[in-house]
Chains A and B, each alone.
Chain A
Amino acid sequence: MTIEQRAHPWMALSAPGALQQMLDEIGVKDVAAVFEQIPADHFRKAPLDLPPALGSEMELKRDLVSKLRKNEDCETNLSFLGAGVWQHHVPAVVDEIVGRTEFATNVWGSYQSDHGRNQAWFEFSSQLGALLNLDVVQLPVYSWGCAIGHAIRMATRLTGRRKVLLPVLSDPERLSVIRTYCQPSEMESHIEVVPVAADPTSGRLSISDLKSKLGPDVAAVYFENPAYLGTIENGAAEIARLAREAGAETIVGVDPISLGVMMAPGDYGADIVTGPVQPLGVHMHCGGGVGGFIASRDEERYVREYNGFLVSIAPTAEPGQVGFGLAASHQNSYGSREHGKDWTGNSTYLWAIAGAVYMSLLGPQGFREVGTLILSRARYAARLLNEIPGVKAVWPETGFKEFVVNFDDTGKTVEAVNDALRARGIFGGKDISGEGHGLGQAALYCVTEVHSAADIRRLADAVKEICQ
């Protein structure tokens, strides 16, 4: 192991002679001596065979950029993809703040030395709590699906029951995560996942099927508002009431960007609320922008079941001053290992800071405006597409930003339509034909504030041309 003569910019002790000086101080003759704990026959035999080092920042940048340029993106193309990651406007100030090295860097710090970050976290929970009308909001977990998984497990611990009811029209991506959290059926602690039918005329949860499946063994009812296929659940309060009557918890998933115009889930009886954080100022990042929140009322029985980090405001030694720290932290896996509430670890806390900045920029009026804009443009898009012969908006006028479009009567598959759209610089909606929802050749379209009326007409014109 020789010491390179050219120092590496990321390693101070790679400077010529620096490591030798340390070896001399320790009193050993070479580097091998400090690895004395590792038996000789443990050292790897296969030599490292890595691609050659990119020895300068210029070469590194060129490699990264030349590769990434092979991607097509949703800024150059016109995209209508959603379903778990959505294209929303990210204010420039959000990017500046989450890019601050003090926030982006590795350290955990302490309540005092990293006070500013802790305050930003508390402000994320506080502002989201104001949108949800709920008093407890945990820092986000890995994703929305993971948040639902934890929420279901909270409900099973709260009720001592091991069955969850959820809509048959669920996102297969999130549902797969939920099933992972509920464990295989061979295991004793398995949680049974039972689908509730949809009303075929509206896509909403079938109240009669829900009633037939509710019983003393049900831990929780989970539904989304708006639902996976975009529909608004008008009967939310009724679902929550029925669940409560059966002694089950009501878990709801909401889209936080809808909450300037949609009723806060805390106001229609939700017990535990989950949702994605990506709409609140996080880029899509090829799916790497996701995170999921969990919230509830401030009742000890709920607080004692959270798995992660709850940031509480607290007094300091200086009268009148406040600081921030972790409440009820002994119950998480850092404090209690296998006896903790599920587990926690590094999560998506940088996106909590993004969300805090985003919500402070929008304020109450911004959320109202963006909600109205999304809703109006999405309805407009559904109408224009519905006017195209053979193209049908399924459950029209029931959604928020997403809606299902059926192509059966065009004689074309969604795949063919999307290929033709892509050739025109448009990414069509997610192909849900193979998801088993019985909706035929269907795509889930997403329209947000970034789509102008002209963009929507361009889409409609292209679909019309393709489906003629």
Chain B
Amino acid sequence: MKLPNYHAPRWDEPVVMELGRPGARGQLFPAPEQEIEVAEIPAAMQRKDRPELPEITEFEAQRHYLHLSQMTLGMMGISLFGTCTMKYNSKTAEAATLRPELAEVHPYQHPDTLQGVLEIIHDFDGILQNLSGMDQFVFQAGGGADAAYTMAALARAYWADRGELGQRTEMVTSIQAHPCNPATAAAAGFTVINLPLEENGYPSIEALKAAIGPKTALLMINNPDDMGIYNPEIKEWVRLAKEAGALCFYDHANFNGVMSKLSARELGFDACMFMLHKTFGAPKGGGGPAVGAFGCSDELAPYLPAPVVVKQGDTYRLDNDRPKSLGKIREFWGNVPQVVKAYAWARAMGAEGIAMASDISVVANNYMDKKLGEIAGIEISNPHIRKRRMEMTRWSLGPLAQETGIGTADFANRMADYGIDPWWMSHEPWIVAEPFTPEAGELWSKQDIDQWIGVVARIVQEARETPELVKSAPHNQAIAQVDGSVFEDPKAWAMTWRAWQRKRAGDAKARSGSA
């Protein structure tokens, strides 16, 4: 296969603090009008120093940040980045949300002036209710992890309302659950119980039975997991957990392969969350603004964070009168433009399109599994499990690493030299050696997937023939390999330009002192 002869743009772009000249301006503001007296901050609070910001022209700012965007691959190659479901993000939806009718809207405006956005939120709530079987969704959580936190906070309100929060102190999950589940539950004040995986790829019913009881506040679980394994005993899990009184939360982060196929409510769950910046086609912005859409049953709805969008006759209202509400997870009602974009995705896909996307994502992953399986040196996780994986599969570079010394991080760095976004390795803990996790989703063509696999095969060959080339990668990027040794060194790390200047000056002084 002919692979692209790629090289990233390389601008040698200085840090913005190094640009410009005294007195240069990128943005002017008018002086207060003549009738307005120029006011001053009280002397005790006045700023005396000049903040050390760059002084550049408007064009220089534009050019600098355009250069930085050009030195960002940002999925504009081929990205099969597992657990994040790479999708096309509609520019139609993006453009709609930038109109002043949304961008210049304040959440405290009178609801009469918010009917359009409330209608969209209400309609989208209906779409998610249909996809999940839940009775009410809210969008306040700023990401998937924040939706997990919403669940933990809701469980606190639920158990406090029953006078049992003092006893229900534990959250049960799998060691393979996304780190946000145990981390948010712990930050909410619960003790975390992680169930280990068994031979078949998921925790045993016996382990679950041993873990749940009168102390269990809630169960938080994803299915399928990031290995691509679906727990076929999940209905029994939910039954047992509810028998013990626990609330059951379905982390639907991996919804892409099962959308239109499963209903969280039919499986028995009390609540679930969807990642709108992932499964529902809203862009993620390199790490937010994102939305973790949180849905639950009527029984749990009184505890949801306020406000909730409701329809009364032909008008939409914000319901803030919710005495049992857990309070607020975050200010206002969520990242509204992302909700609008997710609504746009769902409308543009329709029920048939959503079903087809799920079909495609699982078929394409199985095609990838077949092709990757033909490359010597890489190995599927749990190789004894013969059933076909869901929309992503955890793989291991372990055999190749043993043979050549090339690990998954080296490999990822080298991928970018072919214009391919580095692969996702794995969340902690690494259960398989030198892991990587591809996910095709419904966006990419067979040619894209074939090229991606061609690059993997090429780098496997390089690992054997020219390991140093891979170890020292990347070679065709905007910069050479970053030396990560400073990141854990308090004397060397520098999170701002001023810290870096100070530490460099200190180094220079030390050098001149010893000379």
Chain B residues near A356 (CB-CB < 8 A): 16, 65
Interchain CB contact under 8 A, B119 and A113: no
Chain A residues near B55 (CB-CB < 8 A): 363-365
Chain B residues near A379 (CB-CB < 8 A): 37, 39
Known contacts A75-B104, A186-B160, A373-B30; decide if A35 and B39 are in contact (CB<8 Å).
no
Interchain CB contact under 8 A, A108 and B26: no
**Complex interface residues of chain B between 436 and 479 (CB less than 8 A to chain A):** 442-446, 448, 472, 474, 477-479
Q: Classify chain B's interface size.
A: 35 or more
The docked-state distance in angstroms from the alpha carbon of A114 to that of B84 is 16
Known contacts A71-B117, A105-B74, A106-B284; decide if A315 and B45 are in contact (CB<8 Å).
no
The docked-state distance in angstroms from the alpha carbon of A143 to that of B146 is 12
Which residue of chain A has its CB nearest to the CB of B180?
A: A345
Chain A residues near B252 (CB-CB < 8 A): none
Total contacting residues, chain A, CB less than 8 A: 219
Chain A residues near B360 (CB-CB < 8 A): 11, 13-14, 19
Interchain CB contact under 8 A, A337 and B183: yes
Interchain CB contact under 8 A, A285 and B105: yes
Interchain CB contact under 8 A, B498 and A129: yes
Chain B residues near A321 (CB-CB < 8 A): 479-480
The reply on A395 being an interface residue by CB < 8 A is no
Interchain CB contact under 8 A, B346 and A325: no
Interchain CB contact under 8 A, B86 and A174: no
The stretch of B125-133, B205-213, B375-383, B396-404 in contact with A is B125-133
Interchain CB contact under 8 A, B234 and A68: no
Interchain CB contact under 8 A, B71 and A116: yes
The reply on A179 being an interface residue by CB < 8 A is yes
Known contacts A83-B108, A116-B69, A122-B15; decide if A264 and B331 are in contact (CB<8 Å).
no
Interchain CB contact under 8 A, B47 and A97: no
Interchain CB contact under 8 A, B70 and A48: no
Chain A residues near B144 (CB-CB < 8 A): 345-346
Chain A residues near B32 (CB-CB < 8 A): 372-373, 376-377, 380, 453
Chain B residues near A336 (CB-CB < 8 A): 183, 428
Q: Which of B19, B27, B107, B143 contacts A286 (CB 8 A)?
A: B107
Interchain CB contact under 8 A, B495 and A135: yes
A91-104 interface bits toward B, Cβ cutoff 8 Å, 1 = contact, 0 = none: 10101111111111
Q: Which of B93, B160, B351, B370 contacts A48 (CB 8 A)?
A: B351
Nearest-CB distance from A20 to chain B (Å)?
10
The stretch of A50-58, A208-216, A402-410 in contact with B is A50-58
Chain A residues near B498 (CB-CB < 8 A): 126, 129-130, 135
Interchain CB contact under 8 A, B482 and A111: yes
The docked-state distance in angstroms from the alpha carbon of A9 to that of B377 is 37
Q: Which of A33, A44, A453 contacts B388 (CB 8 A)?
A: A33
Chain A residues near B97 (CB-CB < 8 A): 285
Interchain CB contact under 8 A, A106 and B113: no
The docked-state distance in angstroms from the alpha carbon of A396 to that of B54 is 35
Interchain CB contact under 8 A, B131 and A48: yes
Known contacts A102-B72, A359-B53, A365-B55; decide if A334 and B288 are in contact (CB<8 Å).
no
Interchain CB contact under 8 A, B183 and A340: yes
The reply on A269 being an interface residue by CB < 8 A is no
The docked-state distance in angstroms from the alpha carbon of A98 to that of B115 is 27
The reply on A393 being an interface residue by CB < 8 A is no
Interchain CB contact under 8 A, A366 and B496: no
The reply on A115 being an interface residue by CB < 8 A is yes
The stretch of B239-247, B293-301, B322-330 in contact with A is B322-330
Nearest-CB distance from A193 to chain B (Å)?
12
Q: Which of B230, B330, B446 contacts A21 (CB 8 A)?
A: B446
The reply on A311 being an interface residue by CB < 8 A is yes
Chain A residues near B478 (CB-CB < 8 A): 112, 115-116
- Which 8 A/B pairs are nearest by Cβ-Cβ distance? A53-B350, A345-B145, A287-B332, A350-B285, A102-B74, A70-B116, A333-B183, A116-B71
- 20 residue pairs of the A-B complex, CB under 8 angstroms, read A4-B352, A23-B363, A31-B362, A34-B366, A60-B348, A72-B112, A103-B286, A113-B477, A183-B156, A186-B160, A187-B189, A286-B106, A286-B117, A287-B107, A327-B488, A327-B495, A349-B287, A362-B53, A365-B25, A376-B32
